[in-house]
């Protein structure tokens, strides 16, 4: 009996010594679901570690009466979480990758990009319009979206509709759609709806030719302190090589254009037969003026991780030491080259006008 007792005491003592990894997240239900999914992957990989989730509100969660594009702050959903990282109150933070700016503040890096879910946008219809599509909605129907990117593309494609800003987390937006009679439909990311288990509300999934998606949409990024090698090693195994390379190209494209959420910029990427295809576009705010191009680069994704040099600098805010440096650079160059092509054809003018109009409204 005493042997059993001492064994149990030793186990208890060991569990008391288990290292605790603190994970930061936004407070919304979707953010919690996303963080739980990343923590579940880490627990499966590291059964000897304990994980504690710390939820906090961000500026973007608190300012709900203003369109995101008007707030003029690049790190709306990330700043408070980064402060906690800096103060070592948390060891890593889980974000929707599309919320992370292409240039991170000094001292931070994206240590993992998890496998991407469907990156497209979906339409959710008011109950009285179930069975319709955007094309068959009545003239002057109001469609809610918080994104200039979606509004610009869809206005161009569906000129009979009106687009109006709708803010709040997913639960709030769905409630506004169902309970108020202001909106005939709202546009949300497919990935968020899937993670929330609300696939049954999806009335239409928008194809890239109808509405290209935001840079990084559908992927989760794990942000860490850039010099915390221990945590970088811990989360680095979560990198999905294909998602990583697609997102490096997308983020490099956006960074080179100097885009953000105050201008309509969208992308579409495909990896096929060792080729990475990147389509990128820019739009005027009302969608009347637009420009898009496609380029490709040869990129062979490794079948397994390889050890890279230890002093690799970040690419577009991302650290991925186990993925060959050469293919990361090829993906980054693809994004830069496509942006330069659009800029050479006059994209800067479209973006400058969009930025000025957005600031003036």
Give catalytic residue positions.
99
* CA diameter of the chain: 81
Edge-to-edge order in the sheet of strand 108-113: 50-56, 20-26, 92-96, 220-225, 108-113
Q: Is 168 left (phi over 0), alpha (psi -120 to 50) or beta?
A: left
Whole-number Cα distances in Å, 158 to 135, 143, 151, 327: 7, 11, 10, 39
Cα–Cα distance for residue pair 268/295, rounded to 1 Å: 11
Cα–Cα distance for residue pair 208/205, rounded to 1 Å: 10
Residues 6+ apart with CB under 8 A from 5: none
Check if the beta carbon of residue 351 is closer than 8 Å to that of residue 262.
no
Determine the distance from the C-alpha atom of residue 82 to the mean position of all C-alpha atoms in its chain, rounded to a whole number: 16
């Amino acid at each position: 009996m005493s042997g059993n007792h001492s064994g149990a005491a030793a186990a208890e003592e060991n569990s008391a010594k288990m290292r605790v990894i603190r994970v930061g997240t936004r407070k919304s239900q979707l953010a919690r679901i996303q963080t739980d999914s990343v923590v579940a992957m880490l627990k499966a990989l590291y059964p000897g570690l304990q994980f504690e989730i710390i939820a906090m509100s961000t500026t973007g969660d608190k300012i709900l009466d203003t369109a995101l594009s008007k707030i003029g702050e690049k790190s709306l959903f990330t700043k408070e979480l980064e402060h906690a990282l800096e103060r070592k109150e948390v060891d890593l933070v889980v974000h929707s990758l599309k919320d992370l700016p292409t240039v991170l503040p000094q001292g931070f890096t994206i240590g993992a990009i998890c496998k991407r879910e469907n990156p497209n946008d979906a339409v959710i219809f008011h109950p009285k319009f179930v069975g319709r599509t955007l094309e068959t909605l009545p003239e002057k129907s109001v469609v809610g979206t918080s994104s200039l990117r979606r509004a610009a593309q869809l206005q161009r494609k569906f000129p009979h509709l009106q687009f109006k800003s709708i803010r709040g987390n997913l639960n709030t937006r769905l409630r506004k759609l169902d309970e108020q009679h202001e909106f005939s439909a709202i546009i949300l990311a497919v990935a968020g709806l899937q993670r929330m288990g609300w696939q049954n509300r999806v009335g239409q999934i928008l194809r890239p030719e109808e509405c290209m998606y935001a840079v990084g949409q559908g992927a989760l990024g794990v942000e860490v302190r850039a010099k915390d090698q221990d945590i970088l090693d811990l989360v680095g195994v979560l990198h999905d090589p294909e998602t990583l390379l697609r997102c490096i190209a997308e983020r490099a494209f956006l960074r080179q254009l100097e885009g953000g959420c105050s201008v309509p910029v969208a992308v579409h990427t495909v990896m096929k037969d060792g080729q990475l295809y990147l389509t990128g576009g820019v739009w005027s705010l009302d969608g009347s003026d637009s420009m898009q191009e496609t380029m490709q680069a040869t990129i062979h994704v490794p079948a397994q991780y390889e050890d890279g040099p230890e002093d690799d600098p970040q690419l577009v805010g991302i650290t991925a030491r186990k993925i060959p440096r050469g293919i990361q650079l090829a993906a980054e160059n693809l994004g830069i080259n496509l942006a330069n092509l659009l800029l050479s054809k006059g994209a800067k003018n479209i973006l400058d006008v969009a930025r000025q109009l957005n600031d003036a409204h």
